[in-house]
Amino acid sequence: MARTNRRLTRGARYRRYTGGPDPLAPPVDLSEALDAIGEDVMAGYSPERAMREFLRRGSSERSGLDDLARRVAERRRELTSRHNLDGTLQQAKELLDRAVLAERKQLARDVDLDEDYRALAEMQLDSLPPSVGAAVSELGDYRWQSAQAREDFEAIKDLLGRELLDQRFAGMKQALENATDADRAEMQRMLDDLNELLAAHRRGEDTSERFAEFMAEHGRYFPESPGSVEELIDNLAQRAAAAQRMRNSMTQEQRDELDVLAQQAFGSPDLMASLGRLDGELRALRPGEDWAGSSRMDGEQGLGLGDGTGVFQDIADLDQLTEQLAQSYGGSQLGDIDLETLARQLGQDAVVDVRALQHIEQALRDSGTLRRAPDGQLRLTPKAMRRLGRTLLRDVAGQISGRTGARDVRRAGAAGDLSGATREWSFGDTEPWDVTRTVTNAVTRTAAAGRATAGGVRIEIGDVEVQETEARTQACVALLVDTSFSMALEGRWLPMKRTALALHTLVSSRFRGDDLQLIGFGRYAEAMEIEQLVGLDVGYDKGTNLHHGLLLANRHFRRHPRAQPVLLVVTDGEPTSHLEPDGEVWFDYPPDPLTIARTVRELDVSMRLGARTTFFRLGEDPSLAQFVASMARRVDGTVVAPELDELGAAVVDSYLGARVPGRWGDDMGAGDLFGDVERWGDSRRWGESGRWAG
């Protein structure tokens, strides 16, 4: 039995798995894709476009479509700059020169030759036209005295025949090397049968049986083994069209030379006639092929007709890949990319990159992070919004804590009463231990391991559970964000959205008792869900209607009379519009005194409702700075002028400081919230100018 097993093992063969997705492949990591897509969505892209942009850029580990397209363009440029189309003509010229030289030597050596004939032969050789084709035609009836010269001259005819066939049937040049007359006759018979088959198919006749007979007799000339007459026509038409594009790319002089030489192929014009008929049938059957294209070839390496046709096929493949990788046509998708052609032109590593992008795209659609809305457009799902929000909040935590690597916010009201719930301890937690749960976990683990507990139980980190607490204070928060055109014009659109999403994530995941309302104010103000704000496009209507935004904020505060109102205003401009009693918008610039008065009056209402107010001033406009400072003094609020990359941290910091009055002093921060033994008050200060220093 052992010997049998060894024999079976020795005969085993392992091949690439082709039964679908690799069952052993690790799950697709979507974190980088989701973060990139979320950033682009907040910048104003649709989720569909954002996903396509990520696929174009690629990931940190895989090339994107743009990089693959660049490699395709470089490959095409290499082909066209390396080669020229004189290869066959140069070979024919070399053979002709060698034949003429050998003949001259023979005429000089042959003392028995008739002098009149010698003189006539030398005169004919001396007067040969410079054109290779014309010279070969003129020497068609010449009686060669040199056997070597005759052999070289016949090689020209053989070369042309093999090259012409190699243009239509790849590999034929090598296959017919040293071919006999019988081989050439067999090739001519194949061409005649092929033309008859194609003509019958073009007339609409049933050619299935005829095709089978043709392949049984001539199949050796078609190594690709087409399975039907349609597949045969496709293969032949693609190569014939490439041959035509090569001809189109030649100069008129080159075409004329080859036309003359082609008539001498295999010593008669029959081959050229058969190939001409074949091209006509293929044009009629496949008019959609590119028969009129051309490419400039100005390199130094000469191409024969067959090799040149192969290069033009490669160029066609590369042009097709360029279109597929561009994904710019309607209904385009990654599945359109021809992976076999890609592997042939760029190698297997390019296929690996495309498959990785395909898996990412499919995983994004299947993972619940993107959904198709009723209008047919892709939308970020709440799951994706939560993922993006956690990432942004983690960045904010890193800024606030004054060090990178701060752990994710996991605290649920550390400053308050016990909630009765427990959870596993994580590094940085400062909540009290639940001793009963901790000891029980240690005993259970020890017993499960089969060890006795009589000698005591050793507590490990994984056994520890801590008690969660309820927050003592409920806050009612209104975040007003300026959505006027100037925010986008000055590059503040994306930081504004990032800030709103970070604060929304913090409130919805860690302070669920708080009520946050997001209000965007441009010409009008509008209360928005986070998905609406994140996907908001830039508006071009003029106006900064802070008055309307404060009206909505105060309405929000009144709905929560027992909560602490927190008013956060992010803006880069003075109010230039307000609501009239009839609901219409009044706009004027510079700001109208009436607009300022109504805005101030509504801010006074916020103060009477007990709101703790912070203005986040973006930009260095002196008029804005003066206006915001006076507004803050009026309501005993705060002005912060953060840099754009610190806006999120500044807003979150202000929210946390306002929601628990008296909890944190000037030198106390939200270290408890982030589960850090440090206090962020030790790592940041408010400057005298009100500028936030992270």
Q: Are residues 664 and 547 in the same domain?
A: yes
Per the structure, how many domains does the chain have? 4
> Per residue in 365-399, pLDDT tens?
776 666 666 655 556 666 666 766 676 667 676 66
Q: What percent of the chain has pLDDT over 70?
A: 79
User: Residue 305's pLDDT is what?
Assistant: 83
Residue 398 in domain: no
> Residue 194 — pLDDT band, cuts 50, 70, 90?
very high
Domain range spanning residue 582?
A: 475-693
- Mean pLDDT for 572-578 is 88
Q: Measure the CA–CA gap between 294 and 302, rounded to whole angstroms.
A: 17
User: Residue 478's pLDDT is what?
Assistant: 92
What's the half-sphere exposure (Cβ side, CA atoms, 13 Å) at 129? Answer: 10
Q: Are residues 326 and 428 in the same domain?
A: no
Residue 225 in domain: yes
Predicted model pTM: 0.59
> Per residue in 133-162, pLDDT tens?
889 888 988 999 999 999 999 888 888 888
Q: Are residues 495 and 636 in the same domain?
A: yes
CA proximity to 515, closest of 568, 564, 570: 564
Residue whose token pair is 């071009």 = 540
Q: Are residues 444 and 500 in the same domain?
A: no
The separation between the first and the last C-alpha atoms of the chain, rounded to the nearest angstrom, is 74
H/E/C letters for each residue in 499-537? HHHHHHHHHHHHCCCCEEEEEEECCCEEEECHHHHHCCC
What are the respective helix, strand and coil percentages of the chain, to the nearest 5?
Answer: 55, 10, 35
Residue 313 in domain: no
User: Residue 567's pLDDT is what?
Assistant: 92
Residue 553 in domain: yes
Q: Are residues 270 and 372 in the same domain?
A: no
Q: Measure the CA–CA gap between 236 and 227, rounded to whole angstroms.
A: 13
Name the more confident of 344 and 682.
Answer: 344
User: Residue 367's pLDDT is what?
Assistant: 66
> Per residue in 472-505, pLDDT tens?
468 899 999 998 888 878 788 778 888 888 888 8
| Domain's final residue, options 403, 434, 469 | 469
Q: Measure the CA–CA gap between 392 and 495, rounded to whole angstroms.
A: 11
C-alpha distance from residue 586 to each of 367, 501, 551, 603, 633 (Å): 47, 30, 15, 18, 26
User: Residue 452's pLDDT is what?
Assistant: 64
Q: Are residues 454 and 582 in the same domain?
A: no
We report the CATH number of the domain holding residue 672 as 3.40.50.410
Residue 7 in domain: no
Q: Are residues 624 and 482 in the same domain?
A: yes
Q: Are residues 205 and 323 in the same domain?
A: no
Residue 250 in domain: yes
> Per residue in 202-257, pLDDT tens?
999 999 999 999 999 998 888 888 999 999 999 999 999 988 998 898 888 888 88
Q: Measure the CA–CA gap between 561 and 194, rounded to whole angstroms.
A: 90
> Residue 11 — pLDDT band, cuts 50, 70, 90?
low
> Per residue in 585-630, pLDDT tens?
888 888 888 999 999 999 999 999 989 898 988 888 888 888 889 9
Residue 408 in domain: no
Residue whose token pair is 């033009």 = 312
Whether 410 has a pLDDT exceeding 50, the answer reads no
Q: Are residues 455 and 509 in the same domain?
A: no
User: Residue 534's pLDDT is what?
Assistant: 77
Whether 52 has a pLDDT exceeding 50, the answer reads yes
Residue 516 in domain: yes
| Domain's final residue, options 331, 358, 380 | 380
| Domain's final residue, options 405, 435, 469 | 469
Q: Are residues 490 and 463 in the same domain?
A: no
> Residue 1 — pLDDT band, cuts 50, 70, 90?
very low
Q: Are residues 572 and 510 in the same domain?
A: yes
Q: What is the mean pLDDT of the chain?
A: 79
Dihedral of CA 38/42/46/49: which sign? negative
> Residue 2 — pLDDT band, cuts 50, 70, 90?
very low
Q: Are residues 58 and 141 in the same domain?
A: no
User: Residue 397's pLDDT is what?
Assistant: 67
C-alpha distance from residue 232 to each of 200, 201, 274 (Å): 14, 12, 17
Q: Measure the CA–CA gap between 638 and 643, rounded to whole angstroms.
A: 16
User: Residue 285's pLDDT is what?
Assistant: 93
